[in-house]
Amino acid sequence: MNETTPSTAAIQRSSRTALAGVVIALGLYLAAVISGSPQHGRDLLVEAQAAHQEHAEGHADEHAPVEPHGTGGSAEPHVEAGHTDQSNQSNEDHSPPPHAEADHEAHAAGPPPPVWAVTPFVLLLGAIAVLPLVPSLAHWWEHNSSKLLVAGSLGLVTLGYYLVLHDAAIERHFPAHSVVAPAASGLSWGVAGTVLTNALLAEYVPFITLLFALYAITGGVRIEGDMQATPTVNTAMLGLGAAMASFIGTTGAAMLLVRPLLETNHERKRVVHTLVFFIFLVCNCGGCLLPIGDPPLFLGYLQGVPFLWTFSLWKEWLAVNVTLLVIYWVWDSFFAYPKERQIDRAIDRATARSLQVSGLWLNLPLMAGVILAVALLDPSKSFPGTDWHPWIFLREAVLLSLVGCSLWFGALDIRVKNGFSYFAILEVAALFVGIFVCMQPALALLNEHGASLGIRSPMAFFWTTGSLSSVLDNAPTYLVFFKTAQSLPATGELVAGVEAGRLAGISLGAVFLGAMTYIGNGPNFMVKAIAEAAGVRMPSFFGYLFYSCGVLLPVFAVVAYCFL
């Protein structure tokens, strides 16, 4: 990409444009609140949850043992408050209770699409991998408008399949679960609209809003300085980023530290491996201790996994990250740093200066606000200490408000010194809008056939979830295998309906193996774009795979064998 560093005027214009966009989005949300739409969506979600809970309790009651007469117990069967005793009803009345009918309808989705419906998704992955390598198309592909054109076009092809060819009912996931049947004749606008709703409103909007908030807010923090770029200093910076990733998110940690890392290594010529390890550690493997750390764990939290449960994965987190740091230090100490020219090393020593942090007084509380919004404003859960459920997209509105505060009150000169631009987040937004739409057939196929794949052990869940997280976005992939694991019989401790060992395999696979490709996790692409804008020639899609397969796979294999 090699985008030039934006000028002060360009950064000022982009900040004003972003602020205007935030204000417009918040204004539209306020209008929606006045009309009652977010509240109505929240109510639908809460009602659906209550109906599901009622059915689950009723199903449990149907299978509860009844104490026989003459044993000293009550002769009457147990009837919960609010339920009528149907023992005296006519034996001819066999109609199921209303909640059973609703539950049956909620699971009446038809068969998934055929395998060939995944073709647009495969083509999109191929475009991401191949187009940067084609000399005649590489420059065209550098523009985000070109990425949006390709991603959007293939997304439209996927929607076209659902509009014209798909003849089975599909599940709607937003705002509450329901089933949408295809049209009896003609075009199935309801089915295509449901696919678009699932991809954009249920998945893409929360995903990109969280990434944008962390990206924009951390862009207002300046860690300034140019330490001597020795192997030990670089290793310390990578370790710091890995430690921060679980607490401010992989996106937040990556955006906060990638620019100081680039500045520290500005005088060095061999820095590609440092950026690759940065993606390994800071953008992925460091983020598995808390739900805020990585999007798939956030989805697990929304499904009922306790907020601090992922902290039980600290041994795996420590083993992977320490091993990768040791590998990096050996690589840089014995193979990369000794090959740097003496004059470059001398300049590096002469220009070294201590680190200074600016912009933290404003943006640190805002980052804390992001964490609180993610943790507390889930519409599927009541606000702590109350019975009130947040409105649909209230969390996203708060995140955008925090971004607006950072842009309005923050110092512009900090963003100028950072060379801050929205190119990286726009690249992620352009590509992932197509990815989220195009991968809907793939996710439907996995959801249908996942339980029949013979995946039972934590090790199997680790590798299967991880392998698909490498080429699908790791957040929805996590959710598919989470649901698959919930459907399996368990023999050990349950966490949110999933056997704890299997949940550990799913969580670690999604987080760790999201580092295998540029598209496995959103921050991977951001760091690639920022590094290339700074003049670092990052590996191609396949070149990056050479690094990840050679370094990560052996580490993951050993850790999985030891802990799963």
* 311 DSSP 8-state letter: G
What residues make up the domain containing 553? 8-47+110-563
Residue 99 included in any domain = no
Residue 35 included in any domain = yes
* 204 DSSP 8-state letter: I
Contact 389, 46 (CB under 8 A): yes
Domain total in the chain:
1
Residue 84 included in any domain = no
pLDDT, one tens digit for every residue, the chain (564 residues): 444 557 788 889 999 999 999 999 999 999 999 999 999 999 999 998 888 777 666 655 655 554 444 434 333 333 333 333 433 443 444 444 434 443 444 456 788 899 999 999 889 988 887 888 788 888 899 899 999 999 999 999 999 999 999 999 998 988 888 899 999 888 999 999 999 999 999 888 988 898 899 889 988 998 887 788 899 999 999 999 999 999 888 988 998 899 889 989 989 999 999 999 999 999 999 999 988 888 889 778 767 788 889 999 999 999 999 999 999 999 999 999 999 999 988 888 888 887 788 998 999 999 999 989 988 898 888 898 899 999 999 999 999 999 999 999 999 999 988 888 898 889 889 988 998 899 899 888 877 876 677 888 999 999 999 998 888 768 777 877 887 888 788 888 999 889 999 999 999 999 999 999 988 887 898 899 889 988 899 998 889 999 999 999 999 999 999 998
Residue 442 included in any domain = yes
Query: In sequence order, which residues have a C-beta less than 8 Å from that of residue 280 and are 6 or more positions away?
Result: 324, 515, 548, 551, 552
Decide: residue 217, CB within 10 A, 0-12 exposed, 13-18 middle, 19+ buried: buried
Residue that has been written with the tokens 């006045």 in this structure:
34
Residue 75 included in any domain = no
* 443 DSSP 8-state letter: H
Residue 134 included in any domain = yes
For residue 215, what are its two tokens? Answer: 């990206």
Sign of CA dihedral 556, 558, 563, 564: positive
Residue 118 included in any domain = yes
The Cα–Cα gap between 533 and 526 comes to: 11
Residue 37 included in any domain = yes
For residue 369, what are its two tokens? Answer: 């606000």
| φ and ψ at residue 222, rounded to 5 degrees | -115, 115
